[in-house]
Structure 1
Amino acid sequence: MRILIAPDKFRGSLEADEVCNAVEAGILLAYPAAEITAIPLADGGEGTMEILTNLSRGTLVNVSVQDPLGRSVNAQYGLSEDGNTAFLEMAVASGLKLLSREEYNPMKTSTYGTGQLLLDAIEKGVKNIILGIGGSATTDGGIGMAAALGYRFFDRSENLLEPVGGNLSLISRIDSEQVHKGFDSLNVIVACDVTNPLFGKNGAAYIYGPQKGADSEMVELLDKGLKNLADVASKTFGEDVSNVPGSGAAGGLGAGCMWFLNGKLQNGVGIVMEQAGIEKLVQNSDLVITGEGKVDEQTLSGKVVQGLAGICKKYNVPLAVVCGTLLISPEETRSAGITYAVSVLNKPMDLDAAQRNAFTLVKEATFNLVRLFFKQ
């Protein structure tokens, strides 16, 4: 029997490749003759860059860039084996994880470091860029990233503005005369899994600003700033993208990528699965086993499990899900196209114990589910 293992990470305990190893160990205990293919997946967020780099047999590139507050930090991106494609995560340069909680302030943070990563890749001659934009510490509409690439932002008095969230409302003119010339044939795909518009009550500032340190007054100022950016950028580039689903992702970086990079927003899971050739692998499998730390309603709207469920349903291949916490009903499981879902927790235990023993728990849960599917 041919079994495809294609999980996401179990956050806090196992990376996706470690989940693959645990699932494979469980399969071989239950069915030693199984023909196994293991492909670690991601939803476009943390870990996506490493997975895409490995799938392309690429290498990691180290670059010194600015963190969200302008300090020097070492960051990495992936470069495919043929040198044509770069895989970037904005979080390694402009992510909330780079700041202490006391430093959270989207009025002062910038995506400039993400632009520096892009610039390094462009100067290496890449033709394609895949950029993940989850986990940002910023609400600057992408002007920091753009500034690193040569865009300049001026106020009404023609003063050059620092590209931070607090200056969005002051922008009167966008200048592109000094923009790097490597954009002409560049294809930019942005991994984006939220659908928020750029501004408004469901926009970048109101929905995500507070978790980045914005109080109610800051949220209102940032929202007005993003609207001002939309007005100026729409006139400059001849297109208003502020209501495109995902334009509000990563503090408006979604919109910034469309305006400043001519980027295209795509579902992160879809990008990873396309790069991995998952559809063909599913088609040639008798069972697909996936999983992630928590399976809940959010899982069923754009995560790895949901993406695989659609493909498995298309080819009538059963899909089994192993997870730490299972929070969907049997009706939701069936409706999602999941054949079998199980929590790895086999007795009462606290979170620390579950995380410490995650490998063994996943292995044992997999053993039990495979015995259900393939009787010997």
Structure 2
Amino acid sequence: MRVRYLLLPDKFKGSLTSKEVIQSLKKGIVKFDPKAEFQSYIISDGGEGFLESLESLIDFKRIEINSKDSLHNQINSYYLIDENMNRAYIELAKSSGLVNLANENRNPLYTSTYGTGIEINDAIEKGVEEIFIGIGGSSTNDLGLGIFSALGVVFLDKDGDEFIPTGHNLHAISRLIISKSVKSKIKKVKWFIVNDVKNILFGENGAAYTYAKQKGANKSEIKELESGGNAVHQVLSNYFKKDYSKIEGAGAAGGCGYGLKLFTEGEFINGIDLLLKIIDIDSVLLEDVKYIFTGEGQIDHQTLKGKAVYSLTKRLKKFNIPILLICGNNILTKNEWSLLGVENIISLSDTGHNYSYCMKNAKQLIEETVENYLKTNES
């Protein structure tokens, strides 16, 4: 009898794409079970690979566009339109992502989400009625204000001079102007904020203290980002008469969750829920499946705060199918990772190789470790 395996891995950041992880998993499984059958899907929680995942599931019109990276360099980007539903799907990381910047140029003090705003503006001008924006993988900590600068919101300092917000100048925002035409533009569409993390905007679990270090900020710069964010938050709260800083997801993507919610009243939706709905996962699992494989580059405490793997395992546990989690490195204890409801974790770092070797040879190591695991546990 042929055995079916369901493969739903996220990317191994800095090493392999989701598609490459799938290919390596298949090779490893086939070495153990030459007659294995597969169903596989590229997944994303709204960060890098969000559009690739969607394109693998549905026919979209790809809109190529001249945009700007988070340092305002000209780049070629794209977003998707579902012409049947009149929806645009935008991946913040395409223009404003960390992946676009060389290591030496990464610092959220000086980056902006303005380029993502260029894409959104183009989609609105094309007449879409709904916008789904995946907000993971950003290089920014501008609270999403760059997006709204591109849409026409005017940010002014105490002298009345206009500027584009970055992490460094948030404290300088003294007031903002939103014209009737810009208000109308923003209200013209229904907004959906695709995100899986639960961080609030400020504090030790907020945008700056949780994510700014990995975007290139040092300790003093993280404090500056936190201080600047608090300062502009007071200005924005006075303007909108609302405080969304403490809602789950406000701290996502350098505070983009906060800015998008405040300016648009958009609805937060879970990226994995969106994909599983499109996949129709209940129908997929009507047929017998031996194992579900998922995973990501590193399993850590951020995984437990709502990243793609957490969201997937949470939703797939009900099917009572063994879930195996493949990763490059696992820093959780067994008591911690057992909260994910998985049968086991297969970590490349357990092969005895160092971090650099695992990163460079992840394809081969996935094949070998998966084959060895199945031989050991299925014999």
TM range (shorter): 0.7 to 0.9
SS in 2 for 1:179: helix
Supply the AA of the counterpart residue of 2:88.
Answer: A
1:213 is displaced (CA, Å) by 5.0
Q: Which residue of 2 aligns with 1:64?
A: 66
Q: Are 1:304 and 2:308 matched, yes or no? A: yes
Question: Which residue of the other structure, out of 6, 9, 12, is the alignment partner of 2:8?
Answer: 6
Q: Are 1:239 and 2:242 matched, yes or no? A: yes
Q: Which residue of 1 aligns with 2:252?
A: 249
1:179 is displaced (CA, Å) by 0.9
Q: Are 1:341 and 2:345 matched, yes or no? A: yes
Q: Is the contact between residue 45 and residue 136 of structure 2 (CA under 8 Å) also seen in structure 1? A: no
Distance, in Å, in 1 between the alignment partners of 2:63 and 2:215 is 28
Aligned-residue RMSD, C-alpha: 3.2
1:260 is displaced (CA, Å) by 1.8
Q: Which residue of 1 aligns with 2:165?
A: 163
Q: Which residue of 1 aligns with 2:88?
A: 86
1:154 is displaced (CA, Å) by 3.0
Q: Is the contact between residue 198 and residue 306 of structure 2 (CA under 8 Å) also seen in structure 1? A: no
SS in 2 for 1:165: coil
Q: Which residue of 1 aligns with 2:319?
A: 315
Question: Which residue of the other structure, out of 190, 198, 201, is the alignment partner of 2:201?
Answer: 198
Unmatched 5+ stretches in structure 2: none
Deviates more, 1:144-153 or 1:199-208: 199-208
Q: Is the contact between residue 108 and residue 165 of structure 1 (CA under 8 Å) also seen in structure 2? A: yes
Q: What is the TM-score when the length of structure 1 is the normalising length?
A: 0.84
Supply the AA of the counterpart residue of 1:242.
Answer: S
Deviates more, 1:127-136 or 1:255-264: 127-136
Supply the AA of the counterpart residue of 2:324.
Answer: A
Distance, in Å, in 2 between the alignment partners of 1:297 and 1:96 is 21
In structure 2, the CA distance between the partners of 1:371 and 1:239, relative to structure 1 (3 Å rule), is: same
For residues 22-37 of structure 1, what are the structure 2 equivalents within 5 Å? 22-37=24-39
Supply the AA of the counterpart residue of 2:60.
Answer: G
Q: Is the contact between residue 48 and residue 94 of structure 2 (CA under 8 Å) also seen in structure 1? A: no
Supply the AA of the counterpart residue of 1:244.
Answer: I
Q: How many residues align?
A: 375
Supply the AA of the counterpart residue of 1:160.
Answer: E
Q: Is the contact between residue 156 and residue 172 of structure 1 (CA under 8 Å) also seen in structure 2? A: yes
Deviates more, 1:214-223 or 1:303-312: 214-223
Q: Are 1:151 and 2:153 matched, yes or no? A: yes
SS in 2 for 1:55: coil
In structure 2, the CA distance between the partners of 1:346 and 1:155, relative to structure 1 (3 Å rule), is: closer
Distance, in Å, in 1 between the alignment partners of 2:244 and 2:377 is 48
SS in 2 for 1:260: helix
Supply the AA of the counterpart residue of 2:298.
Answer: K
In structure 2, the CA distance between the partners of 1:231 and 1:296, relative to structure 1 (3 Å rule), is: closer
Q: Is the contact between residue 299 and residue 327 of structure 2 (CA under 8 Å) also seen in structure 1? A: yes
Q: Is the contact between residue 12 and residue 18 of structure 2 (CA under 8 Å) also seen in structure 1? A: yes
Cα displacement string for residues 50-96 of structure 1 (whole angstroms, at most 9, x for unaligned residues): 11232222243321122223232222223336363333222222233
For residues 168-179 of structure 1, what are the structure 2 equivalents within 5 Å? 168-177=170-179, 178-179=181-182
Cα displacement string for residues 128-155 of structure 1 (whole angstroms, at most 9, x for unaligned residues): 3222223333332222110111111234
Distance, in Å, in 2 between the alignment partners of 1:201 and 1:339 is 32
Distance, in Å, in 2 between the alignment partners of 1:367 and 1:333 is 22
Question: Which residue of the other structure, out of 324, 327, 332, is the alignment partner of 2:328?
Answer: 324
